[in-house]
A and B are shown apart, each in its own frame.
Chain A
Amino acid sequence: MKKELKLTINGRPYQISVEPWMTLQDVLRDELKMKGTKKGCETGKCGSCTVILEGMVIKSCLMLALQANGKSILTIEGLSEEDKLHPLQQSFIDHGAAQCGFCTGGMIMTGKDLLDENPNPTEDEVREGLSGNLCRCTGYAGIVEAILGATKR
């Protein structure tokens, strides 16, 4: 039996009917077609589905959509303004921090939360903050440099 779900995503209100077993990730990708939030492990290990819910990073694969009812969500699609990339997105490009790109959205969302909370983190703090996001290509050095680099913008 479908239930009504109200969300604010990237500043825009949405109202849709969802099955109660759908995760927030299912709703973002399959119902609302926002494919920047990736489906990786689907068990909370890889972080590629990271979104920011009410100012906190969460893994959207581990939250039922209805648990987010009435809340406000920021996804990777909401970072840039018009044609202007968010400083973190630009920094990822400048530092060559993406290879296949699958983890990148989650990395950037986690990086954003990290910098919102601590605008001048140390390398260790960045690495600790990223411990819930896996990258299988780059080996993390570029990603860490990109996040540190974005603080200087």
Chain B
Amino acid sequence: MVLLKQGLFSPQYLISIKDIASLDYITHNQKEGLKIGALTTHRKIEKSSIIKEKFGPLVKTVNGIGSIHIRNVGTIGGNLCHSDPSGDPAPTLIAMNAKVKAISLEGERTILLEEFFKDYYETELKEDEILTEIQIPSLPPNSFGTYTKYNLRGGGSNVVVKVAAFITMESEGKVCKDARIVLGAVGATPIRAKRAEDLLKGQEISLDLVLKVGKVASEECDPVSDVNGSEGYKREMVRVYTKNAIMECLKRAEIA
């Protein structure tokens, strides 16, 4: 809608799908995980007790989108299809290993969200496809996650960096079993900091290690200098925010 108003996008025809009530739902079971219809509003997700209970970092993420006015209208599917690199839900959903379902007259297919974003405002969706569902697997035991972002002002202002991090710990001790770190707003699409993740996997967590993870993540992103900050500044913020995100996960795991 904003692109339309700024004249960046002038379609001859526009079809609203917002009244398809059957795409507005939140379902959950332990085996299949969480399923969110593409036309579910951010506000509904933010208020969902099952999401609050089982997927807390998603509530924190969605809570940071624009203001209540925006969250009352904006939908999770619309947000993802818009493919704005500074979109909020994508990093968290990728860190939670989410998939999306797309349908067309040819049938339906499931796409790993990590592979869904192609470029600024471009996705894997074909012209005749619509996105219908977001699927999030149940989190493995001993998983702790968070979403942090740095913006210049609250209320949906421009964002410098966003970091979603999830770590899974071994059932005992301080060894990290798995880690997923996803960076937003510092490239054309959300970026998984895989080298930073690898540093954590199978390792005993220490402050030194976490500091190193932040540094490696800052090398893995691809920010551009703009009004929100220079490239160097954004990399530095990726370093700091990645470190902070991991520390917050550890705090939740009661390790740090």
Contact = CB atoms under 8 A, between A and B. Distances in A.
Interface stretch (B64-72, B83-91, B112-120, B235-243): B64-72
Contacts of B73: 56, 58-59, 62-63
B154 A62 contact: no
A132 B18 contact: no
A57 B16 contact: no
16 contacts: A42-B5, A43-B2, A44-B66, A44-B69, A44-B70, A47-B69, A56-B43, A58-B72, A62-B5, A63-B73, A129-B68, A131-B154, A132-B66, A132-B67, A132-B155, A133-B155
B127 to A, nearest CB: 21
Interface in A48-66: 50, 56-59, 61-64, 66
B86 to A, nearest CB: 14
A57 B69 contact: yes
B1 interface: yes
Interface in A105-133: 110, 113, 129, 131-133
B96 to A, nearest CB: 25
Contacts of A133: 67, 155
Given A131-B155, A132-B155, A132-B156, A61 B5 contact: yes
A45 B2 CA distance: 10
A59 B69 contact: yes
Please provide the 9 A-B residue pairs with the shortest distance between their CB atoms, ordered closest to farther: A132-B67, A131-B155, A56-B72, A59-B69, A131-B154, A132-B69, A57-B69, A62-B1, A131-B67
Nearest to A46: B155
B5 A57 contact: no
Chain B interface, >50% SS class? loop
Contacts of B66: 44, 132
Contacts of A132: 66-70, 155-156
Interface of A: 20, 23, 42-45, 47, 50, 56-59, 61-64, 66-67, 110, 113, 129, 131-134
A72 B85 CA distance: 35
Given A56-B72, A59-B70, A67-B18, 5 more contacts: A45-B156, A56-B73, A57-B72, A67-B16, A132-B66
A113 B16 contact: no
Chain A, interface SS category:
mixed
Contacts of A23: 5
Contacts of A59: 69-70, 73
Contacts of B72: 56-58
Contacts of A113: 68
A133 B70 CA distance: 11
Interface in B1-53: 1-2, 5-6, 14, 16, 18, 43
Contact of B69 (A42, A64, A110): A110
B16 A64 contact: yes
Contacts of B14: 20
Contacts of B68: 57, 110, 113, 129, 132
A1 to B, nearest CB: 11
A110 B71 CA distance: 13
A29 B66 CA distance: 24
A66 B16 CA distance: 10
